[in-house]
Each structure stands twice: as structure tokens, then as C-alpha cells.
Amino acid sequence: MAAVSSLQGIEVKIISTKPIDGQKTGTSGLRKKTNIFMGEHYLANWVQSLFDSLGNEVKGKALGLGGDGRYFNKEAVQTILKLAAGAGVKKVYVGMNAIMATPAMSALIRGRKLYGGLIMSASHNPGGPKEDWGIKFNYSSGEPAPERITDAIYGYTTKISELKMADIPETDLSKIGTHSYGDFEVEVIDPVEDYLALLEEVFDFGMLRKFITRPDFSLTFDALHAVTGAYAGPILVDKLGASASAVRNGVPLEDFGGGHPDPNLTYAHELVELQWSDKATDFGAASDGDGDRNMILGNAFFITPSDSVAIIAANAQEAIPYFKTGLKGVARSMPTSEALDRVAEKEGLKCFEVPTGWKFFGNLMDAGLCSVCGEESFGTGADHVREKDGLWAVLAWLSILAYRNKDIAVGEKKVTVEDIAMEHWAKYGRNFFSRFDYEGVESDAANSMVEHLRAVQADSKPGTKFGDYELKTADEFSYTDPVDGSVASKQGLRFIFTDGSRIIFRLSGTGSSGATVRLYIEQYSADSSKHSQDAQAALAEIIKIALDISQLAKFTGREKPTVIT
């Protein structure tokens, strides 16, 4: 069957289809094994459902489209373009070679006032024919689609009966240029340009370049063969003068070179090994599949994401022009350490504690309440976009280093990443922090443990002693959004002690099989003679208490976590 599009000069084929189970969409979109997405109509059904849920609103509008470079992205673009034209979208801006980092998409939507954008990514999950694929939709402020849209998409996937596919030829994604198909337009754009222009407004590129090209400074950025490979060359090397060898694994590959593109101590092991060797550089950083996460290292020194956001917040006004009039406020996810709260308290800033999930920061930012925010899960960002931003975090750290070293002559002792952390702790105290992940736990076992913890929490009155720790309060975290009043409940069980230490349990919301139990442990110390202690050593006693309270080994059968951060 054929029909005429609401756009002139385009014929639309109506293809019949049937609902496919399991297309439940979260705020990070839909993630499945690649071969599932490659199955007949699987991708098309979801994309058609997205357009159906946007309805007339999307007609005549412009969208962005791109992804993290993984396998199947280029084919997927062609399907999405046909469906977009079929839905009456007027124009789609596609990143060259289907590339667009998540924060870059957020910048593109905001900068060009697009209606929204589609990002083809399964974030930090491995890619390739046997690995994962994913797709998500970002809305008009550049933020992940709100629940009312993701719920509507899911609703449509359960009753879809036809696909509206415009009869247009394949678009050449390898060259920048504009293609018109009747009234429908596809513009293949440089995926770096808009994002770089925004970063140049945020940071002092002159100061950064001067610092990065110092003969006594060296840096390594590991793109893990993921999307930031496409950005690191133009930004760090061409613009800021880093040597080409400073960028490692800088070519985006469809399978990320067989790796797991997640910037943490486990998966970014090549960078970790380098930074703990005699070839270590002064600064090391990595980003994930779609460029929103980051890890920051010094020479043999790890900055926890919780400390990273606190240190950036404490130095932002001096070192980053975008913040020169001060921060509007700061925010962190609940399990993220209270290091940020210490900064907020001393500097007279409002500090918000939100549930895990970047979407919760967006409302605060739109309402002008938050400038800088972060999560313990290697996410750091600011209100220049509505996503966490890996390269932004890298440039924020480089700006702090550049600013702190601007009056130190070449050859003299520089201020290092470690010095910045030590000075920060001396001023604000140190929140020792660690996260234990127990991956692939049987769901029933994990749920029983949570039930048990709820019972313990209900029984635990303030003043109860756990070893040397005295309970201040125990609760299950619930959040009322100060902007729209919406409530998110059951966001993690917390045991908070009178000395500021915290034990938190949550089940991950992003796992793909079974349950992942996350245990977050935190302990505060104002005593600077203890600040260089190893976090695991400092936390040993409270970790024991956490395992004891939860009876984690009994419930899950696990003696040891799968990942320790």
C-alpha cells in the first residue's frame, strides 16, 4: 500500500507489522542484543512507536540523529530516516558516519533548537553482532525523554499495526552535505562542530592550550575505541595542542576493539596500568561508549567520581569562565558521597540530593537551581547540556590544573592531580567512598535481601549501635522533585550514622540479566593525617558492618563482589 506523506514530493509505503514483546523503554531508551534489533521490524516498530507517540507535534520539525559508532548504527540510520520522513519530520541532521556522542546530541538539540534527537547507543555495553545495541530519544531541552514519552512509546509498541516508510534512497553518510527528497531534508553534519563551539564558550581554550603544550606536562586520553575517539583528535589534539600520541584507542570501532567501553578501574585497565607504571603521564582520563561518562586519574592516583564533582564545584568559579559569576547550586545522586555537600556548605551553595539517574538533574537545571552535578557512577556534568558529559569533565579538570599552575614556571614543581585532591580534603575533609557491585545475582535472592533490610531499617531506632557506629537515621530514600512535585520512592535503603558515615543498598536499574546489588559505603574524616589512607583500609570496619546488617553472603551466596570501585 502507498500513501502520500504530509510532506510534498514523498511517497510513503504502508507496511503491516505486529507488536513485538519486550519493547519497554526506559529513560536510557531500549537496549537489547544487536541481533534482536536486526530482526524483522524490531527497530522500525520502536521508531514508528516513538513517532506515533509524538503525533502531530513532530510534523514539520527538525531532529538530530547519530550514535556511538557501534555495529548496526549505519544501517539503522537509513531505516530511521525513512520512518522520520513518513512521520512528516521536515529535516534530520545526521552526524557524519552516524557518529554523535550523547552530550554532543544534547548540545546540538539545544544549539539548533531542534525538536529532539535520536541516539543509537547502548552506552558502556560492548558492541558488535553478538553484543548490545540501543536507541534513545532526547527531547527539546536536550534531556533524556521524560517518562510520559517513554511510557507512550511502550504503549504504541504493544498495539502497532503499520509502519509508514518513505520511499527515499539511502543517504551517503560518509560526506558532509545536504540531501533533499521532496520536502524532506537530510543534512549530514560534522558531529564535533556544535559541541566544540559550546565547549569553547564554557572553557578558556587559550589557558588550556598554553597549559597542555607545556613541555613539562603530559596527558593521556583513552577513548576505548568508542565515540570520543571522534572528538578527542579535533578537540584535544588539533585545538588544544596535545600530542597525537596522547589519545589512545582513538579510532571508534564497531565492536570497540572487543572491549567494554566503560571508564572505570576494571574496564579501562590499559590506562590504569599506564598511570601506575613508570611511563605514567601527569593526567589520565577515559570516556565510555557514547561519551557521557568519565574517569579521571593522576600519576598513580584515582579520583573517585564523588570527589571529582566536589573538586570541580569547589574550583569552577576560578578556573572555568562559564561559572565566573558563581554556581547556581549543585546536585548529586543519593549514593554519591557527601563530599559535594561539604563544598556546598562551606561555599554557601544549595545542594540537592536526587535519586540515581541523570534525568533528575534536568528539572533543577531548567529551573536555574543547579550548575554542576555528578553521580558516583562516573557521571559528571553541568547545565551547558542536559546529559552527563565525559569530555566536559576532562576539560574541567584540565582547567583546574591549568589555573593552579598558571604562575608556576616550566621546570618548577607543578601542582598535580594528587595535590589538588589532598588540598581539597585538607580544606573540606575527606569522604572515603567505595562501591561494591554484586552482578548477576538471582533476582529472588536480591529481593529477599532487600526485604530483610527493610525489616532491619524499620527496627533500627536512632541511637542504635552498630559496632562503634551510632545510628542517626535509617530510611528508604524517597525524592520529591522541588520543581514539579513528582515523587520517586524506594530509591535505596540508607543507614546514616552520627559521624556522617553512610551505608546504602540499592538494586541497579540498568542491569540486563538477574539483579545487581550495589553496596555503597562512605566514611567522613576531617583529620588530614588520615587522608592519604587507602579507601578500602579506611572503610574496612564499616564494610564489615554493612555485610553483617544485610547478611549479603547468606542471601546471595556471594563472598566477594564482582567489581569494587
Active site (catalytic) residues: 123
- CA gap 106, 92 in Å, rounded: 15
CB of 167 vs ligand G6P, minimal distance in Å: 37
- CA gap 71, 34 in Å, rounded: 8
Task: Single out the residue of 288, 307, 387, 437 in contact with Zn ion (rule: CB under 5 A).
Answer: 288
Sign of the C-alpha dihedral, residues 11, 14, 15, 19? positive
Select from Zn ion, ligand G6P, none the partner in contact with residue 5, using the beta carbon and a kind-dependent cut-off of 5 to 8 Å: none
Q: Which is nearer to ligand G6P, 203 or 477 (CB)?
A: 477
Select from Zn ion, ligand G6P, none the partner in contact with residue 509, using the beta carbon and a kind-dependent cut-off of 5 to 8 Å: ligand G6P
Q: Is 510 in the site for ligand G6P (CB under 6 A)?
A: yes
Q: Is 205 in the site for ligand G6P (CB under 6 A)?
A: no
Q: Is 281 in the site for ligand G6P (CB under 6 A)?
A: no
Q: Is 562 in the site for ligand G6P (CB under 6 A)?
A: no
Phi, psi of 478 (to 5 degrees): -135, 140
Task: Single out the residue of 132, 255, 292, 389 in contact with Zn ion (rule: CB under 5 A).
Answer: 292
Q: Is 26 in the site for ligand G6P (CB under 6 A)?
A: no
All three cell numbers of 380, joined, read 559528571
- Which one-letter amino acid corresponds to residue 458? A
What's the 3-state SS for 532-549? CCCHHHHHHHHHHHHHHH
**Alpha carbon of residue 553 to chain centroid:** 30
Taking contact as CB under 6 A, which single stretch among the options 97-105, 343-351, 352-360, 547-555 is the one that binds ligand G6P? 352-360
Taking contact as CB under 6 A, which single stretch among the options 156-164, 449-457, 505-513, 538-546 is the one that binds ligand G6P? 505-513
Select from ligand G6P, Zn ion, none the partner in contact with residue 37, using the beta carbon and a kind-dependent cut-off of 5 to 8 Å: none
Q: Is 134 in the site for ligand G6P (CB under 6 A)?
A: no
Q: Is 389 in the site for Zn ion (CB under 5 A)?
A: no
Q: What is residue 472's three-state secondary structure?
A: strand
Q: Which is nearer to ligand G6P, 28 or 150 (CB)?
A: 28
Select from ligand G6P, Zn ion, none the partner in contact with residue 338, using the beta carbon and a kind-dependent cut-off of 5 to 8 Å: none
All three cell numbers of 25, joined, read 523503554
Select from Zn ion, ligand G6P, none the partner in contact with residue 510, using the beta carbon and a kind-dependent cut-off of 5 to 8 Å: ligand G6P
All three cell numbers of 187, joined, read 543534512
User: β-strand 2-4 against 132-138: which pairing, if any?
Assistant: unpaired
Q: Is 88 in the site for ligand G6P (CB under 6 A)?
A: no
Opening angle at CA 254, ends 253 and 259, nearest 5: 70
- CA gap 261, 258 in Å, rounded: 9
Taking contact as CB under 6 A, which single stretch among the options 100-108, 345-353, 475-483, 508-516 is the one that binds ligand G6P? 508-516
Select from Zn ion, ligand G6P, none the partner in contact with residue 288, using the beta carbon and a kind-dependent cut-off of 5 to 8 Å: Zn ion
Q: Is 132 in the site for Zn ion (CB under 5 A)?
A: no
List, as own/partner pairs, every contact residues 468-475 make where C-beta atoms lie below 8 angstroms and the sequence separation is at least 24, other chains included.
468/541, 469/497, 469/498, 469/499, 469/501, 469/542, 469/545, 470/497, 470/498, 470/499, 471/495, 471/496, 471/497, 471/498, 472/496, 472/497, 472/498
All three cell numbers of 383, joined, read 547545565
User: How many residues sit close enough to ligand G6P to count as binding (CB under 6 A)?
Assistant: 11
Task: Single out the residue of 23, 102, 356, 491 in contact with ligand G6P (rule: CB under 6 A).
Answer: 356
Sign of the C-alpha dihedral, residues 11, 14, 15, 17? positive
- Which one-letter amino acid corresponds to residue 95? G
- CA gap 492, 108 in Å, rounded: 34
Q: Is 518 in the site for ligand G6P (CB under 6 A)?
A: yes
Contact 177, 188 (CB under 8 A): yes
Residues paired with 287 in a beta bridge: 294
Select from ligand G6P, Zn ion, none the partner in contact with residue 383, using the beta carbon and a kind-dependent cut-off of 5 to 8 Å: none
Q: Is 204 in the site for ligand G6P (CB under 6 A)?
A: no
Q: Which is nearer to ligand G6P, 252 or 492 (CB)?
A: 492
Q: Which is nearer to ligand G6P, 360 or 397 (CB)?
A: 360
Q: Which is nearer to ligand G6P, 464 or 508 (CB)?
A: 508
Q: Is 509 in the site for ligand G6P (CB under 6 A)?
A: yes
Q: Which is nearer to Zn ion, 291 or 329 (CB)?
A: 291
Tell me the DSSP string of 351-384: EEEE-SSTHHHHHHHHTT--SEEEETTTEEEETT
Taking contact as CB under 5 A, which single stretch among the options 47-55, 117-125, 418-426, 508-516 is the one that binds Zn ion? 117-125
The alpha-carbon radius of gyration of the chain (Å, integer) is 24
Q: Is 437 in the site for Zn ion (CB under 5 A)?
A: no
The strand ranges marked E within 279-429 are 283-287, 294-298, 301-303, 330-333, 351-354, 372-375, 379-382
Taking contact as CB under 5 A, which single stretch among the options 215-223, 284-292, 453-461, 522-530 is the one that binds Zn ion? 284-292
Stretch 370-409 residues interacting with ligand G6P (CB under 6 A): 375, 377, 379
Residues whose CB is less than 8 angstroms from the CB of residue 472 and which lie 6 or more positions away in sequence, other chains included: 462, 496, 497, 498
Residue nearest to Zn ion (CB): 123
Q: Is 123 in the site for Zn ion (CB under 5 A)?
A: yes
Q: Is 290 in the site for Zn ion (CB under 5 A)?
A: yes
Q: Is 146 in the site for ligand G6P (CB under 6 A)?
A: no
Return residues touching ligand G6P (CB under 6 A): 28, 356-358, 375, 377, 379, 508-510, 518
Return residues touching Zn ion (CB under 5 A): 123, 288, 290, 292
